[in-house]
């Protein structure tokens, strides 16, 4: 996992547009004329199949007034480009939603405390009180918001209110065992990251590892993706698998599965923090 330390005037530029000759030259020329120095650049083209071009640049740049407006006028508009830029000195604000399983939450908190995740975590929200002490011991406010079928709408409204008050940029579902409503998801398009085992759709629902054991699976894994209205069908950011055999008991599968979930979720979160993900329909380009 990369852990680049960016200076305060480092910016990350993500672009997508119809492919044509000269895109890299046009962007690079503009950056040069703006006094920027390109530190890293990655690109991908789907031409000729789809004819689309994607690029991520990390640049060292002076704080130039009017840079974004000039880029839009001189580069983005002529190239019919979708783009966004983020700055290293403007840390993203990440909220975590969790239920009772602690493995993904604790891994994120440990990596945040150790400096591996360059974000602020203003709050953790749970529908169970179990993990409050784990959060407050690190100085992170914990909100216990129980939910039932009758209170789901009001609970989501309370969550949305907290998100607005804390100016949350994106949300991580660290094994949050509730289905978010389309209304809530629409508030954070491509900004809610979920993690689940990769048995879907074969072993959906409760006790997936028991079902997998009963079927004698040979691979287990995990998938991290952006949340959409279609349950567990959003654009995939990261995946991983591990081989298992008849020698593995159910507890072994659970242990291996949770370990993979931790790693996959962390890699997906870091990719989002570092602006390495571009969503293309229901799939992603991850630089």
Q: Could you give the residue ranges of the DSSP H alpha helices within 92-207?
A: 103-113, 132-136, 152-165, 182-185
**CA dihedral in degrees (226, 194, 225, 254; nearest 10)?**
-170
DSSP per-residue codes, 191-204: -EEEEEETTTTTT-
The neighbouring-strand residues paired with 226 are 193
Tokens of 186: 């629409």
129 CA to centre of own chain:
25
Assess contact for 86 and 12: CB atoms under 8 A: yes
* Length of the chain (residues): 287
102 in active site: no
| Catalytic option among 19, 232, 252, 259 | 232
Assess contact for 121 and 149: CB atoms under 8 A: no
Q: Which residues of 225-264 are buried (b: 16+ CB within 10 A; e: fewer)?
A: bbbbeeeeebbbbbebeeebeeebeeeebbebbbebbbbb
Q: Within 13 Å of residue 134, how many CA atoms lie on the same side as its CB?
A: 20
Alpha-carbon distance values, 78 to 64, 178, 279 (Å): 21, 44, 22
Catalytic residue ranges: 232
């Amino acid at each position: 996992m990369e852990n680049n330390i960016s200076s305060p005037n480092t910016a990350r530029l993500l672009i997508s547009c119809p492919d044509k000759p000269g895109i890299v030259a046009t962007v690079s020329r503009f950056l040069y004329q703006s006094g920027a120095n390109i530190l890293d650049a990655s690109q991908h083209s789907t031409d000729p199949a789809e004819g689309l071009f994607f690029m991520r640049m990390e640049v060292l740049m002076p704080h130039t007034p009017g840079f974004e407006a000039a880029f839009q006028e001189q580069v983005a508009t002529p190239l019919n480009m979708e783009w966004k830029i983020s700055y290293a000195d403007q840390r993203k604000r990440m909220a975590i939603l969790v239920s009772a399983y602690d493995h993904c939450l604790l891994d994120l908190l440990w990596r945040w405390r150790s400096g591996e995740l360059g974000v602020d975590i203003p709050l953790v929200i749970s529908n169970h009180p179990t993990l409050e002490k784990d959060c407050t011991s690190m100085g992170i406010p914990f909100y216990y918001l129980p939910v039932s079928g009758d209170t789901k709408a009001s609970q989501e409204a309370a969550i949305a209110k907290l998100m607005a008050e804390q100016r949350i940029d994106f949300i991580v579902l660290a094994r949050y065992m509730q289905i978010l409503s389309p209304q809530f998801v629409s508030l954070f398009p491509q900004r809610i990251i979920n993690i689940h085992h990769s048995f879907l759709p074969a072993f959906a629902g409760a006790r997936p590892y028991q079902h997998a054991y009963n079927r004698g699976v040979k691979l287990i894994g995990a998938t991290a993706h952006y949340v959409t209205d279609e349950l567990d069908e959003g654009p995939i950011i990261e995946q991983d698998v591990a081989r298992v055999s008849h020698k593995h008991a159910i507890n072994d599968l659970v242990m291996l599965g949770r370990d993979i979930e931790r790693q996959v979720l962390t890699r997906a979160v870091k990719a989002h923090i570092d602006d390495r993900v571009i969503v293309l329909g229901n799939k992603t380009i991850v630089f």
